[in-house]
Amino acid sequence: MTTIKVFCPATIANLNCGFDVMGLCLEGVGDEMIFHKVPQKGIRIIAITGADLPLDTEKNVAGVAALAIYNAVETDCGFEIEIHKKIKAGSGIGSSSASAAGAVYGINELLGRPFSKNELVDFAMKGEALASGSEHADNVAPCILGGFTLVRGYNPLDVIKIKSPNQIYAVVLHPQIELKTSDARAVLSPTIALKDAITQWGNLGGLIAGLYTENYELIGNSLQDVVIEPLRKALIPNFDEVKNSALDAGALGAGISGAGPSIFALCQGQDKAEAVAYAMSTAYLETGIPFDMHISKVNDEGVKTI
Which entry of 27, 32, 128, 229 is annotated as an active-site residue?
A: 128
135 is annotated as an active-site residue: no
Residue 166, C-beta contacts closer than 8 angstroms, at least 6 positions apart: 214
**Separation of alpha carbons 136 and 125, rounded Å:** 6
Query: Residue 208's closest CA among 1, 18, 4, 45?
Result: 18
**Strands, DSSP E only, in the chain?**
3-13, 22-38, 42-49, 78-84, 148-154, 157-162, 168-175, 253-256, 263-268, 291-297, 304-305
**Separation of alpha carbons 81 and 214, rounded Å:** 40
282 is annotated as an active-site residue: no
Q: Residue 115 gets which letter from DSSP?
A: S
How far apart, in Å, are the Cα atoms of 78 and each of 37, 55, 93? 6, 16, 30
Query: Residue 45's closest CA among 10, 91, 85?
Result: 85
Which entry of 11, 32, 149, 181 is annotated as an active-site residue?
A: 181
For residue 279, how many other CB atoms are within 10 A of its CB? 21
User: So which residues are the catalytic ones?
Assistant: 128, 181
